[in-house]
Amino acid sequence: MVGSFGASIADTSSARNGADPVPVACVLTTHDACRRETVPPMRALRQHRLFRDHPERHQLVDTAVPLALTAFSFALMSAVDTMFVTGLGVAELAGVGLGGMLTFVAIITTGSLLRGLKICMVQAEGRGEPSLGYLGAGLRIGVRATLPTMAVLIVLGFLTPHLLTTDASALAARDYIWVRCTSIPMLFALMSVREAYYGRGDTRTPLRAILAANVLNAVLNAVTIEVFGWGVRGVALTTVLAVALQLVWLARGQRAFGFGWDAATPAHTREILAIGLPFAGQKLLETGAFTVIAAMIARTGDSAAAAHQIGLQLLLLGNLPSVALGDAVSLVAGRLAGQGDVLRARSVTAFALRVGLAWTFVVGTGAAALAPLIGPRLVPGDPEIVWVLWACSALLMLESTSLVAQGYLRATGDPRYPSVVVMVNAVLISPALAAVGIYGFGLHASAAWLAFLVEVSASTGLLWRRIHRRTVALSSASGFGYNPSDAAA
């Protein structure tokens, strides 16, 4: 399941970043010697023809790259945890797998609500209004959600014996959930502060914080497991301390701006919820529909479940840059929409779409070409693994267009429509088509992936149709006509 475009996205020089300057030209002096003139890397990027007359594109890239790296860092931290848990045994691995999933389900609602914070901030700054009150409102939402979330996790810990087949795996899941439960107050505060950084255009500081947390995570996993022998509890404690490190890191920088606790009003909370509630509902229903489909696949055999898992991992990794682009669009377009510049908001969205399609085309084409070679080796004996990988390759491009479209609509004041479209299609189309394919035609994992293709295609078409209509309406309201060729320029 991660960017921000603030009022002042600084064009940081290579000297300030500690990087080597980029040579631009050699100029002959009177002694025929070559003197190199240099410019910083980010300024060189700005001077490229794609960015020279479009500073918002530079903003988009400058924001999306740290966001993508942050997402990769979160995935890396999870992979390191899995590597250490694997050495503990099968029961521990099963317990931590379930414990992590249940913890995610418990926090996803509040986490999704807080996703609206950064969009509210960039829109306010685009209008020239104070934005710190949104951080205070986000912190208050987190405080109110802390005790209920911790209570849910405690109850889930007691239920683990009914969800797993062995006492050892149930004990591992319970220990993991209960130790992770202690991080909830810090986690919700971290989510709010991180969104505030994104809202004012600083995506690099959260990236540095997660990179430091990755180092701490790896070291403490080794110490708690290999030295102290704390097992699953050590893995969970390491995650808690990684959250604490990120919160301290970001809170120290946020002190200079303030935390907005006293500036928060009920209006700030309502605006955050107006964006966050539809997104939270979307995530919950998507998760439910996905769980139903996974259960149907699991009943067809272990090889089908394995093929489904391989496809999911490819989709997860391949989609991380697209997720970052979608978040970047919501911030850059949100600021431009707040300023009343709808055409530039639409233009930067079209540029993000091209970047996303280029990335997913490269990844998807490579995966499709390699599918007949690596698929049978990954899941021997499964006749559908190649079809699953081919469907996943096509789905990468469709998901990228959908994520960019959702980012634009949320940024321009239309948060409900994308959530409703995605929710309805995810609940009505995918499970129904997957059931027809599995029970009616005897397909296995490929039935679900073909259903995903139909669902996302339908959602993407509706979202981009809405974007065209909304851009025309907003342009008319602001007194400017809208020409689609202007947005694509």
Give the pLDDT confidence of 127-141 residue by residue, as tens digits. 889 999 999 999 999
Q: Which long-range contacts (CB under 8 A, 24 or more apart) does 386-390 make?
A: 387/446, 387/449, 388/307, 388/308, 388/310, 388/311, 388/445, 388/446, 388/449, 389/310, 389/311, 389/314
Single pTM value for the model = 0.77
Average pLDDT rounded to a whole number, residues 96-107:
86
pLDDT recorded at residue 434: 93
Going by pLDDT thresholds of 50, 70 and 90, the confidence category of residue 43 is low
Answer yes or no: is pLDDT of 92 > 60: yes
For 308-363, write each residue's pLDDT tens digit. 878 887 888 888 899 999 999 999 998 888 888 888 888 899 999 999 999 999 99
**Is residue 26 very low, low, confident or very high in pLDDT (cuts 50, 70, 90)?**
very low
CA 64 to chain centre: 11
What is the pLDDT averaged over residues 283-289? 83
Instruction: Give the pLDDT score at 480.
Output: 41
pLDDT of residue 131: 92
Nearest CA to 384 out of 436, 317, 438 is that of 438
Does the pLDDT value for residue 264 go beyond 70?
Answer: yes
Judged by average pLDDT, the poorest of 135-144, 219-228, 350-359, 409-418 is 409-418
Q: What is the mean pLDDT of residues 454-464?
A: 94
**pLDDT-wise least confident of 1-15, 246-260, 298-312, 454-468:** 1-15
Which segment of 28-42, 88-102, 214-228, 434-448 scores lowest on mean pLDDT?
A: 28-42
What pLDDT score does 297 carry? Answer: 86
Q: Which of 46-50, 105-109, 321-325, 371-375 is predicted least confidently?
A: 46-50
| 4-13, 157-166, 445-454: range with highest mean pLDDT | 445-454
Model confidence at 16: pLDDT above 60: no
Residue 17 has pLDDT above 60, yes or no: no
Q: What is the pLDDT of residue 24?
A: 33
Residue 176 near residue 118 (C-beta atoms within 8 A): no
pLDDT at 13 over 50: no
In this predicted structure, the answer to whether residue 270 has a pLDDT above a threshold of 60 is yes
What are the tens digits of pLDDT across the range 47-59?
555 666 678 888 8
- Does 8 or 179 have the greater pLDDT score? 179
C-beta atoms surrounding 11 within 10 Å: 15
User: Are 443 and 308 a contacting pair, CB within 8 Å?
Assistant: no
Q: For residue 165, what pLDDT is reported?
A: 75
Per the model's pLDDT, the better-predicted residue between 180 and 303 turns out to be: 180
343 Cβ contact partners less than 8 Å away, ≥ 6 residues apart: 471, 475, 480, 482, 486, 487
Digit-coded pLDDT (tens) for 138-191: 999 999 999 999 999 999 999 988 878 788 888 999 999 999 999 999 999 999
- The 3-state secondary structure of the chain reads CCCCCCCCCCCCCHHHHCCCCEEEEEEECCCCCEEEEEECHHHHHHCCCCCCCCHHHHHHHHHHHHHHHHHHHHHHHHHHHHHHHHCCCHHHHHHHHHHHHHHHHHHHHHHHHCCHHHHHHHHHHHCCCCCHHHHHHHHHHHHHHHHHHHHHHHHHHHHHHHHCCCHHHHHHHHHHHHHHHCCHHHHHHHHHHHHHHHHCCCCHHHHHHHHHHHHHHHHHHHHHHHHCCCHHHHHHHHHHHHHHHHHHHHHHHHCCCCCCCCCCCHHHHHHHHHHHHHHHHHHHHHHHHHHHHHHHHHCCCHHHHHHHHHHHHHHHHHHHHHHHHHHHHHHHHHHHHHCCCHHHHHHHHHHHHHHHHHHHHHHHHHHHHHHHHHHHHHCCCCCCHHHHHHHHHHHHHHHHHHHHHHHHHHHCCCCHHHHHHHHHHHHHCHHHHHHHHHHHCCCCHHHHHHHHHHHHHHHHHHHHHHHHHHHHHHHHHHCCCCCHHHHHC
